[in-house]
Amino acid sequence: MKVALVTGGNGGIGSSICAALADKGYKVAGGYYPADKENAEAWEAEMRANGKDVTAVAGDVSNYTSCEAMIANVESELGPIEVLVNCAGITRDTTFKKMSPEQWGSVLQTNLDSAFNVTRPVINQMLERGSGRIVNVSSVNGQRGQFGQANYSAAKAGLHGFTMALAQETARKGITVNTISPGYISTPMTQAMPENVLEAIVNSVPMGRMGEPEEIASAVSWLVDERSAYITGANIPVNGGLFMSA
């Protein structure tokens, strides 16, 4: 049975990705921030109660040493990682003129540096095996920018640059590297927004609704499928028409 690692696995989108990959027959490791251990353990229990082969694993994606330890733990307990989904992310929103170095740095470290920190320890084994799937979860705001999100937009745009470069380096070795850029997705975090803000978001989307986490998970499942072996370096938008490009 193949192994998949999903960072930010116990989040709104990450949880749906974990469930979808478990349904495809993967043993799934769902990464979580170490301080969130209690919630992560409850999440793991709920996933297993629903028949999902999911294991919660601790790791600070902003710290390379922590990521090395997390991946060594996954490989020791579950086996070599065949699928990696870099889904962990945070926001620290404010206008650029008010943005502190901490607000900038923390978002870049968690949303962009993490792609290096988590991918670097697994890439050599993928290259040696001649197979592997890497999916980086970016954002529509990495494609179009967003007021008050200079840090987040920069990190998410950088994530696809990382995808394209790594895709070129690994394509001949049977590894695919792709990006998914979600639009506004209905998660506990977005549902906690004021009603007028939610209404404005929905009104800006041509489809007239927010996306569902399962729709992002479906795109991930498609990209990691064996039949998607000729897709690499792509950025797949899942945004209800909010941003379109040639």
- Residues 26, 32, 33, 152: which is the catalytic one? 152
- Known catalytic residue: 152? yes
How far is Cα 25 from Cα 116, in angstroms, rounded to an integer? 27
Report which residue type is found at 186: S
94 neighbors 102 (Cβ within 8 angstroms): no
Beta bridge pairs of residue 235:
179
How far is Cα 235 from Cα 163, in angstroms, rounded to an integer? 9
> Cβ neighbours of residue 11 under 8 Å, at least 6 residues apart?
87, 88, 187
- From the list 171, 145, 146, 162, the residue with the least C-alpha distance to 86 is 162
How far is Cα 175 from Cα 127, in angstroms, rounded to an integer? 7
Task: For residue 110, give both structure tokens.
Answer: 């968690």
Task: For residue 215, give both structure tokens.
Answer: 């729709």
Q: For 80, left (φ over 0), alpha (ψ -120 to 50), or beta? A: beta
How far is Cα 114 from Cα 29, in angstroms, rounded to an integer? 16
Residues labelled as active-site residues: 152
